[in-house]
Structure 1
Amino acid sequence: MALEFPSLDWHQILAQEQSLDPDNWDAVSDLGKKMVEEMVDYLQHIDQEPIWRKPPEEVKNLVKEKWSDQGKELQHIYQDFKQYILPYPKGNIHPRFWSWVQGTGSITAALADFLASTLNSNLAIGDHSAMYIEQQVINWCLEAMDFPLQSASGILLSGGSMANITALVVARNNIDPSIRSHGIQSWPKKLTFYASTETHSCQQKAAEIIGVGAYGLRKVSVDNQYEMDIAALETMILADLDAGMQPFCVVANVGTVNTGAIDSLLEVERICRKYNIWFHVDGAFGALVYLLPEYKDILAPMSRADSIAFDLHKWMYLPYEVGCLIVKDKAAHRAAFALQPSYLTSHERGLAAGPDPIGNYGMELSRGFKALKVWFCLQEHGRKKYEDLIRQNLAQCLYLADLIEQESDLQLMAPVTMNIVCFRYFKTGMTQEELNKLNKEILMTLQERAIATPSSTILEGSYVIRVANVNHRSTKADFKALIIGVLEIGRELQLN
């Protein structure tokens, strides 16, 4: 039965047409200038602000407010922003923020995001400037990783999770084109892929999403450096082959999330080529160390990977969100996603002409102009400045490790291979459970007192304080303040 739609009196409705544009453009311009001036000042003096403050009840109560029928003056909304939102940020714009792996952002990128929102470009299809800017940014990423411009491809995504999922879809579909049309349930062999026990949790989510299931992700043991055990990897692959399964990908980590460990890329590459398996690198933050000449030998096999996932909102210090996937075989990448319904047909001329639609290289069609902030910042600072800052972050972590090793009440809990330092407060005679409880209290107190904001993880049963440094604003003094804070709080808690 056909639906009956309501009848609209278009004569009456269209007698007074409306839009969301302001009645007073000058007033909006003045407020916009004020916003820019105040946010520039805020970031300029961000080191004088608390890193983190617990949002009070009045902030939490905002979620209870109903959406009103009538609008509110823009300047009043901005005042609410300054009162309820600005004082309670996550903190990753502050020089003493080292939680998880979250980049610092920059004022240039913030301004570029305003420009991108003004244009409101959709980057799925069409002959418009934004499409070419994203391709230029992708080309810069390909060049940075020594991928061939002519035969490789890439796409900007929300972050490493989506980049890894997208890569695994390409790897899965590369087995046989029929998988795309008939699904993996029609494939005669169970598909498996491999990553270390230290790999990011997004790999398990990816396994569940692409249809191989959590058990299809084989988690390979690690050595005492938290690097993938290559002998164990090959043993698992051989066992799966003997059981009639089909290994299709190995994920090598360049910077594990817990400790920053780098898997043996040369050995992973060897295994992948030996068994004809897709060689993928999850370099969410660590891949960008490839920019440094002194790391080229260690990371050289990465340039021979079939695909690399990495985040520009981590070690390129860009604001959220912008991740990247690059794929060595452009044809395989396109074959995994390209689809042309009648409403997305490319034309010889007009708006529907232009470059190969970016929508042919990923799942999303609703894609914003996230490339613009990358385009601005990479040009403003140049490759050399990014090399210097990444190197500076690495050196700061070595400095922090040295400070830790100088203190008898502190223990370094994992090798410092890149930009992650794991340590704990320690006293002889305390049990593991007591140490874990104490270090958790130290961490929470550090954050509550706005001394510094590292995060935590568990290493072999030990609760550790974890510093992940992708902060272009941090200085030696900030790391010294962290150590002083940990020692003072640890001793204070012991006395109590």
Structure 2
Amino acid sequence: MSKEFKGGGLEPADGVDFRAQAHRLLDACLNQLENASERPWQEPPEGLDTRYVIAGEGREVGKLVDQITRDVLPYHGGNTHGRFWGWVQGSGLASDLIANMASSVVNANLGGRNHGANEMERAVVDWTRRKMGYPEGASGLLVAGTSQATVISFQAARLRVLKDVRLKGQGDQRLTAYAAAGVHNATRKALELLGIGAENLRLVPLRGHRMDADVLAQMVREDRASGALPFLVVGTAGSVDIGAFDDLNALADVAAQEKLWLHVDGAFGAWTRIADQPWRGLTDGIERAGSIALDFHKWMYVGYDCGMALIRDEAEHRAAFAARPAYLKGADSGLAGGEPWFTDYGIDLSRGNRALKVWCALEMFGEVAFSDAITSNCQLAQLMAQEVARQPRMRLGCAVISNICVFTARDDLSPAEQSDLNAAIARQLQDSGDAVFSTTDIDGITMLRAAITNHRSQPEDIIDAVACVAREAAGVNDRGEIG
């Protein structure tokens, strides 16, 4: 006799069949994980959109599993494959499968109240606090990603200089923020969303791929003399184009002198804190920041989405967001207990258990495995640079700093021809499944860019991928046309 779930039409009609089909899908997912190296990105077929049209009539779970294995699993974004280095995307972990199974059946809301998942998030925040060198009692919140973490951090920074901003707004006060030219767009968006305005983001010139701290100090003093209220400097730990790092100690010195809040955009680069030297030294000074935005779904490899806002002063963090209407009133005991509630530290009241993915990953593999993987990614970027240097007509866009390698396939062509060729090669290698590069512009040339945040990448992947680029570039005539 089949087991019946209670819950009317929103529970499986046949529990035995549901269990069997769930096991079948689990096996398909495990096969996908075990054979990730054989499953590169492939373009979705024509007509896939029609297969996803929702009829709304309900289907047998077996047919649903059939379609998932046929239409969902094969047409992924490619970042689970060992030769995916496009943009900055993490590769996902086997531990995510375990975490997501548990998370889906518990369905925890980490906005607040008294349940065990809150303790897990606090443990993940505390572990991250220690890795970043923050003092005991520092505050943190798991969020969708660095973009959201940036908004949360900037609001806390603004509240330091405008104590009544939550009640009265910013008024006609002109706040100014400072970041290196080329800072990630998340900073601009956050300033726009908070009503500070993108025009009040002052871009500081670079000196050797780093924000010029002397020019920063001068700009702050000039803005203050003109009636502005400088309040924030944003340091970059891992720039999106070339993986560069600001001198965070130098920025912290200016921030202390000029009474600014130092925020670090460490979306992926903050994790050099657990790498070997010399890469660990790239983030020296991060422990002096007022806030850090970082992602676990990039260079900690866990599944999407999972980021964190880490803020040094818990009281300032809470003051920026705490609000408890009557229906959210806490209690000394029972389910309404469990203070503090995470909703008092951010935008969301309804929050899934992102911490479970991080906790499972660290508990399953251990810290050393992540340190080794991050260090290896930096070494692979150096290896790619060496392979590029071995090719007579390739050229690096700049020296490799961390985990990003940028280069052109043919430096004997004009800038426009190089740009067209590099973009074409990126598309061809994506289509063929050989490798996924993205592109970026360096000195007016669109170049191939490998951002290596992939724990599955191996030295042979790097060597073969550069050889594939050389193969495609060899078929180009003197006018930059692919033959």
Aligned with residue 121 of structure 1, among 87, 96, 108: 108
Secondary structure of the residue aligned to 2:161 is coil
Q: Where do residues 51-70 of structure 1 align in structure 2 (5 Å cutoff)?
A: 51-62=40-51, 65=53, 67-70=54-57
1:143 paired to 2:130: yes
Q: Where do residues 73-472 of structure 1 align in structure 2 (5 Å cutoff)?
A: 73-150=60-137, 152-185=138-171, 189-223=173-207, 225-292=208-275, 294=277, 295-428=279-412, 430-472=413-455
Give the Cα–Cα distance (whole angstroms) in 2 for the partners of residues 105 and 298 of structure 1: 25
The one-character-per-residue Cα deviations of 1:23-45 (angstroms, maximum 9, x if unpaired) are 21111111111111221111111
How many correspondences in the alignment? 473
Q: Against the structure 1 CA distance between its residues 372 and 95, is the aligned structure 2 distance closer, same or farther, given a 3 Å change threshold?
A: same
1:113–1:370 contact (8 Å) kept in structure 2: no
The alpha-carbon deviation at position 355 of structure 1 amounts to: 2.5
The alpha-carbon deviation at position 69 of structure 1 amounts to: 3.9
Secondary structure of the residue aligned to 1:100 is coil
Partner amino acid, structure 1, of 2:115:
H
Q: Where do residues 37-56 of structure 1 align in structure 2 (5 Å cutoff)?
A: 37-49=27-39, 51-56=40-45
1:347–1:353 contact (8 Å) kept in structure 2: yes
1:192–1:218 contact (8 Å) kept in structure 2: yes
The alpha-carbon deviation at position 292 of structure 1 amounts to: 2.8
1:317–1:470 contact (8 Å) kept in structure 2: yes
Partner amino acid, structure 2, of 1:353:
G
The one-character-per-residue Cα deviations of 1:26-67 (angstroms, maximum 9, x if unpaired) are 111111111112211111111122x1111111213335x2x3
1:71 paired to 2:55: no
1:59–1:85 contact (8 Å) kept in structure 2: no
The one-character-per-residue Cα deviations of 1:328-355 (angstroms, maximum 9, x if unpaired) are 1000000000001000000111100013
Give the Cα–Cα distance (whole angstroms) in 2 for the partners of residues 414 and 31 of structure 1: 52
Partner amino acid, structure 1, of 2:28:
E
The alpha-carbon deviation at position 91 of structure 1 amounts to: 0.3
Secondary structure of the residue aligned to 1:28 is helix
Give the Cα–Cα distance (whole angstroms) in 2 for the partners of residues 300 and 425 of structure 1: 34
2:330–2:339 contact (8 Å) kept in structure 1: no
Q: Which runs of 5+ in 1 are unaligned?
A: 1-15
The alpha-carbon deviation at position 179 of structure 1 amounts to: 1.1
Partner amino acid, structure 2, of 1:164:
T
Q: Against the structure 1 CA distance between its residues 17 and 370, is the aligned structure 2 distance closer, same or farther, given a 3 Å change threshold?
A: closer
The one-character-per-residue Cα deviations of 1:281-307 (angstroms, maximum 9, x if unpaired) are 110000010113524544231111111
The equivalent of 1:481 in structure 2 is 464
1:393–1:472 contact (8 Å) kept in structure 2: yes
The alpha-carbon deviation at position 157 of structure 1 amounts to: 0.3
1:198–1:226 contact (8 Å) kept in structure 2: no
2:32–2:73 contact (8 Å) kept in structure 1: no
Partner amino acid, structure 2, of 1:158:
A
The alpha-carbon deviation at position 111 of structure 1 amounts to: 1.9
The alpha-carbon deviation at position 156 of structure 1 amounts to: 0.2
The equivalent of 2:3 in structure 1 is none
Give the Cα–Cα distance (whole angstroms) in 2 for the partners of residues 37 and 143 of structure 1: 38
The alpha-carbon deviation at position 414 of structure 1 amounts to: 1.5
The alpha-carbon deviation at position 149 of structure 1 amounts to: 2.1
Secondary structure of the residue aligned to 1:234 is helix
1:254–1:263 contact (8 Å) kept in structure 2: yes
1:198–1:222 contact (8 Å) kept in structure 2: no
Greater alpha carbon shift after TM alignment, 229-238 vs 458-467? 229-238
The equivalent of 1:9 in structure 2 is none
RMSD: 1.4
The equivalent of 2:19 in structure 1 is 29
Q: Which runs of 5+ in 2 are unaligned?
A: 1-5
Give the Cα–Cα distance (whole angstroms) in 1 for the partners of residues 202 and 418 of structure 2: 32
Q: Against the structure 1 CA distance between its residues 69 and 351, is the aligned structure 2 distance closer, same or farther, given a 3 Å change threshold?
A: same
Give the Cα–Cα distance (whole angstroms) in 2 for the partners of residues 69 and 398 of structure 1: 52
Partner amino acid, structure 2, of 1:210:
L
Give the Cα–Cα distance (whole angstroms) in 2 for the partners of residues 222 and 87 of structure 1: 43
